[in-house]
Structure 1
């Protein structure tokens, strides 16, 4: 009841403020028109005017009413610089604290109770760095001050800390605004607008946020680096740790702009993508697809046959493909580009020093202006009792382990229903393995819409994969010389015997062994970075899987540009990483490709959308290739052709997606795609046809009825 009473009083005061049109007084026009009358009152009863102004300022701030900025200008005009700053500084801090306390009293318990789990990270951050965070917001007003007052009340920052930080943080801004107010108060004519003092005041108003941002950055930098001694000279402009996609592109960019850069790699150039991921898996998928087409030759008017092959030969082909691509990522190529490539293990000793245990046995130390961590990721191995004893493969180790086999494993278990698990399960099934795929959730490819998951399930089961969804692996064991995995399903135990088991339950960032713990760099599932890919130390940045939030090679290369440029030129200009349009593809057959929102994401985020879908079974090119299965699904803003997201299921889905990625990146709608000539007959026509479906659904029916009447009239 006390809370309800307080809320009613606040509402009545706010309503009264607007009902009596008091907000008119707290505008620039109101300030100018009332200055003379205020001066009369001040000269007649100075203490009363001072006190009334002080209390009114507190009330306006405490009630989060508009006009605090105008009152700050008024303080300068009425009371001069010294007294104006003094009054506003204390009144604004007291009023802000009142708003803070009211927000805390009315809302904090309810908000923390309902959203405590989601707010845990914020609470930890406020507890650790709340004072500095608030100081930064006060000094550089990213959000309106009244919002800061209310939102801080929902956190666990101490009220006393909130008050004194606000008092100090708002002082510089108060000084600038009050000074501007003193100049406005001295205007005698229009010519005074061009006076140097007034112009300087307005310049300060514009420049102050930039200066304040520089100041807070300097304070934060001094605070972060205070335990270390910065070198007077540096061996390198940039040291990049890791030669996967993120590291290679970072080093390439640095060399291109003539920076002195070293690239350190402990294992193979090209990283996981070239050696264990994208390249070998896509080569395997191609071989498996050809085998599948041979069995189904009747689809093409040919006689189907069982393919005869040596699995060893398939693995040799994969290795030959890796070796053909290797020169693109080789030591020799990057050395020619101007990169100092060092093969060894790197550890960050301090924010400017990297120690390298070289493969030749030597230890080398390099000082550098900036560091890019591109250490990649590794397969996640689930904690399943007996797994280590029985043995397992991952997407990293299977290529070397299975390369000695003449036949694919007869019985293969794949743990995981994500993209990697689905790709491997389908490929090995097509190459003759009896594959059992285990997924604990209700469906595979759970990040996709339900219809996409069902499409993928049908494709995999048609290829012979036994899909066990809602099955959880609880242990592995060997019985009578047979390896088996024990699964739990609806309270019952299911045993599956196998010859080989692949763990494909995801990947985790490589975070240990690089000195990050000793430096206090925060890690969770990946390195904690800001929008500029900077870690706790602004000159140490991250790119690729280790930085998150996406684990795609193309995202790693995308991030690498920001990491390299911000590392080399961030003291001039920093660039915020752009994640607005991120595409990805799962290379099962048929492929699943997506960019932007899908239906389940849009519903979860409460984003309104319209859906338009085109079935590939009506596409001429798909029919000619006997691949007429799949669809193109586009989500748009209701009533507009603005694209929110696209999902494509079908042959060449990854390639078809590129047109939509370009359209979303540059703000082009479906009308632009519809108006673009697409070669006939091509798969790309599917993109035009889905745009045509949208156009038909938004046809101007009323206008068309009038046009029909017009044509009827023309016929007589």
Structure 2
């Protein structure tokens, strides 16, 4: 009842304010019109005028009414800089605190009760850093002040903390506005607008947020680096931990701009992509594809044959491919580029110092202005009981382990239905292994649209893979010489179990960022599933950056390199200009056969996010080159803004889909629509024509029918087509009479 009464009183006061047009007095025009009268009152009754202004200002801020800015200017004009500053500072803080208390009294309990779980992290953050958050918002108001008052009332911040932080945080801005008011008070003609004083005041209004932001950055840095002694000089401009894609590109950029940079890598240069991921898997995929083409030779008028091969030679070819690519990422190459490469384990000792435990047993310490953490990720092994006893392989270990085998494992179980799992399952299936792929989710490749998942499943099954979705790995057992995996699943609502005997078990259920072993914990750098960074890829310490798989949000080689540019440039030149990492156009491809490539939104994501879209689709089974190559399967699907050709996302399923996607990636990055793609000449006959044809499908769907109807009439007229109706009859009669 108390809450209802309070809300009723507040609503009545606000209604009266607008009903009697009192807001007209809180405009710049109203201020100028009443300026002389206000100054007269101040001269005749200074105490009463001050009290009235104080109470009105408190009411305006407490009720979140419009006009507080105008009142601040008015007070500056009437009371001058010093007393105006005092009056506004206290009145605004008292009013803000009243609004804060009302929100807390009326809403806090119900909001916390309803959203308590979701607000837990916010509550903890406010209890820990609430004063700093509030000070930041007050100093640089990214949120309107009245919203800050109301929202902070819903948090556990103490009232006295809210009051003194608000008064302190609003003081610089209040000073600027009151000073502007003193200058406005002197304007009595248009010429006064160009006076130096008022020009200076408006300049201050413009640059104040920038200065406040700089001040806040300085305050934050002082807090973050408190307890650490910054070196007077540095050994390096940049130290990079990790020699994968992100680390290599970061070091390369630094060396290219003549910075002194050290790259630290404990194991193999090139990271996961070269040694365990992209390169070996694509080499395996190629061998498996050739084997499948031999089986399918009859599709090309040739005689199909069952491929005969040495599995050991297949695996050796993979290592040969790695060896051929290896020089691109070698110590020798990067040393020649100007990068110092240290082979060992790097550990961050303090924000500017890295200790390197060299592989040869030595220890070296380096100081650097900036540090880039590019430690990568590692395969996740699910905690399945008994898995250590039966043994398992991951995408990191299978290349070395299987290279020791003379024959391909006859019975293989592959856990995981994501891109890595699907690529490996299809490849080993095509090479003759009896592969059973297990996925706990209801479909493969859950990040793609359901129709893509179905096509992927069909492609894998065609390659001899048994796909078990909605199956969960429960435990592994050794039964004599047999290794057994027990799965659980549902059948008609009843829980069931299934046993699979296997020779090799491959875990491909995802990868986790490497977050331990190089000093993050001691420095208090926050981690969750990845290293926590801001939009500039800065960690808790502004001079320490993270890039690549260790930073997320994507685990692709090309995004690691993309992030590395931002990390390196911000690390070296961030004091002058910082760049926010741009994830607006990120492509990726799953290299099964047919390939699945995507950029931007999928249809499922658009629906989940409530984004309006149109779908345009072209079937590759209609494409001349695909028909000629006997690869006529798949589609190009484009999501566009309704009624426009702006591309929101593209999914391509088909041969060389990853290559075909590049045109759409370029279009989205450069803001080009489907009309531009339609107007581009594509060589005939190529697979790339699919991109043009899908643009043509969009154009047909958006043809201007009314205009075309008039154009048709125009062409009829130009041909002299006989008219219909009475006019035509008169014409025919006239012709008959002449005859």
Does the TM-score normalized on the shorter chain lie above 0.5?
yes
Matches within 5 A, 1:21-40: 21-40=21-40
| Corresponding residue to 1:711 among 715, 718, 738 | 715
Q: Any stretches of 5+ residues in structure 1 without a counterpart?
A: none
Distance 1:72 1:326, change over 3 A: same
Question: Equivalents in 2 of 1:457, 1:5: separation in Å?
Answer: 63
Aligned equivalent of 2:626: 622
| Cα distance, 1:144 vs structure 2 | 2.2
**Counterpart for residue 179 of structure 1:** 179
Q: What whole-Å deviation, never above 9, does each CA across 1:542-599 have from its counterpart, x for those lacking one?
A: 0001111111111111111111111111112211111111111111111111111112
Q: What corresponds to 1:242 in structure 2?
A: 242
Q: 1:339 to 1:313 in 2, by over 3 A?
A: same
CA distance in 2, matches of 1:337, 1:410: 47
Which of 574, 577, 580 is equivalent to 1:576?
A: 580
Residue 674 of structure 2 corresponds to residue 674 of structure 1: no
- Residues 108-134 of structure 1 show CA distances to partners (whole Å, capped at 9, x for unaligned) of 445445544444433332222121122
Q: Which residue of 1 aligns with 2:329?
A: 329
Structure-2 change in CA distance of 1:123 and 1:646 (3 Å): farther
What is the alpha-carbon distance in structure 1 between the residues aligned to residue 306 and residue 114 of structure 2?
60
Q: 2:315 — aligned with what?
A: 315
Residue of structure 1 equivalent to 2:726: none
For 2:475 and 2:622, the matched residues in 1 are separated by 47
> Is the 2:389–2:478 Cα contact (8 Å) retained in structure 1?
no
* Residue 696 of structure 1, CA deviation: 1.7
Distance 1:621 1:3 in 2: 73
**C-alpha separation in 2, matches of 1:710 and 1:700:** 15
Residue in structure 2 matched with residue 49 of structure 1 by the alignment: 49
Listed one character per residue, the Cα deviations across residues 654-681 of structure 1 (whole Å, up to 9, x for unaligned) are 1111111111112212222222222222
In 2: Cα distance, 1:375 partner to 1:500 partner: 29
Equivalent in the alignment of 1:515: 519
Secondary structure of 1:589's counterpart equals: coil
Cα gap change, 1:527 to 1:33, in 2 (>3 Å): same
- For structure 2, the residue ranges without an aligned partner over 5 or more in a row are 721-739
What does 1:544-555 align with in structure 2 at a 5 Å threshold? 544-555=548-559
Cα deviations by residue, 1:292-315 (Å, 9 ceiling, x for unpaired)? 111111222221111111111111
1:339 corresponds in structure 2 to 339
Q: Distance in 2 between matches of 1:570 and 1:358?
A: 30
Equivalents in 2 of 1:573, 1:533: separation in Å?
Answer: 14
Q: How does 1:202-217 map to 2 (within 5 A)?
A: 202-217=202-217
- 2:737 aligned residue: none
Q: How does 1:153-164 map to 2 (within 5 A)?
A: 153-164=153-164
More displaced stretch, 666-675 vs 483-492: 666-675
Q: Aligned pair 1:279/2:279, yes or no?
A: yes
User: In structure 2, what is the Cα distance between the partners aligned to 1:170 and 1:483?
Assistant: 69
SS of equivalent residue, structure 2 residue 549: coil
Secondary structure of 2:364's counterpart equals strand
SS at match of 2:238: strand
- Indicate the larger mover: 658-667 or 482-491: 658-667
1:160-184 CA deviation, whole Å, 9 max, x = no partner? 3222211111111110111111111
Q: 1:435 is paired with a residue of what secondary structure?
A: strand
Residue 382 of structure 1 deviates from its aligned partner by 0.4
Q: How does 1:157-556 map to 2 (within 5 A)?
A: 157-490=157-490, 491-556=495-560
Pairwise CA distance, 1:16: 4.3
Matched, 1:641 2:648: no
Q: CA deviation at 1:138?
A: 1.2
Q: Secondary structure in 1 aligned to 2:660?
A: helix
CA apart distance, 1:206: 1.3
Q: What displacement does 1:70 show?
A: 1.9
CA distance change for structure 1 residues 627 and 9 in 2, over 3 Å: closer, same or farther? farther
Output the CA distance in 2 between the equivalents of 1:131 and 1:257.
41
Structure 1 residues 86-117: Cα deviation after superposition (integer angstroms, max 9, x where no partner) = 12112222222333333344444454455444
Distance 1:185 1:295 in 2: 90
CA distance in structure 1 between the partners assigned to 2:164 and 2:84 by the alignment? 19
- Out of 31-40 and 329-338, give the one that drifted further: 31-40
The CA deviation at 1:443 is 0.7
Q: CA RMSD in A?
A: 1.7
Q: 2-side partners of 1:545 and 1:322: how far apart? A: 21
1:13–1:699 CA distance, 2 compared to 1 (3 A): farther
- Inter-partner Cα distance in structure 2 for 1:522 and 1:382: 24
Distance in 2 between residues matched to 1:160 and 1:441, nearest whole Å: 51
For residues 611 and 157 of structure 1, do their structure 2 counterparts lie closer, same or farther at Cα, with a shift above 3 Å needed? farther
Q: Deviations over 1:325-354 (max 9, x none)?
A: 111111011111111100001111111110
Aligned to 2:73: 73
CA-to-aligned-CA distance 1:517-561 (integer Å, 9 cap, x gap): 111111110101111111111111100011111111111111111
Q: Relative to structure 1, is the Cα distance of residues 621 and 198 closer, same or farther in structure 2, using a 3 angstrom cutoff?
A: same
- Judged with a 3 Å threshold, the aligned counterparts in structure 2 of structure 1 residues 540 and 479 are, in CA distance, closer, same or farther, namely same
Instruction: Report the TM-score when normalising by structure 1.
Output: 0.97
Give the TM-score normalised by structure 2.
Answer: 0.94
Structure 1 window deviating more from structure 2 (600-609 vs 490-499): it is 600-609
State how far apart, in whole Å, the 1-side matches of 2:80 and 2:634 are: 73
Go from structure 1 to structure 2 and tell me whether the alpha carbon gap of 1:376 and 1:198 turns closer, same or farther (over 3 Å shift).
same
**2:635 aligned with 1:631:** yes
SS at match of 1:657: helix
Change (3 A) 1:479 1:270: same
Distance in 1 (CA, whole Å) between partners of 2:393 and 2:699 is: 50
Query: 2:692 aligned to 688, 695, 701, which one?
Result: 688
| Distance change >3 Å, CA 164–CA 461, structure 1 → 2 | same
Q: 1:149 to 1:400 in 2, by over 3 A?
A: same
Aligned residues: 716
C-alpha distance in 2, partners of 1:534/1:288? Answer: 42
- Structure with higher Rg: it is 2
Counterpart-to-counterpart distance in 1, 2:60 and 2:682: 61
Moved more, 215-224 or 99-108: 99-108
The structure-2 alpha-carbon separation of the partners of 1:643 and 1:151, relative to structure 1 and needing over 3 Å to count, comes to farther
Change (3 A) 1:460 1:215: same
- Distance in 1, matches of 2:375 and 2:257, equals 23
Whole-Å separation in 2 of the counterparts to 1:107 and 1:608? 34
- Measured in 2, the distance between the counterparts of 1:643 and 1:149 equals 41
Task: Name the SS for the 2:550 alignment partner.
Answer: coil
1:557 is matched with 561
**Cα distance change, pair 604–150 in 1 and its aligned pair in 2 (3 A):** farther
Pair 709,10 (structure 1): closer, same or farther in 2 beyond 3 Å = farther
The Cα shift of 1:19 comes to 4.0
Structure 1 stretch displaced more, 680-689 or 584-593? 680-689
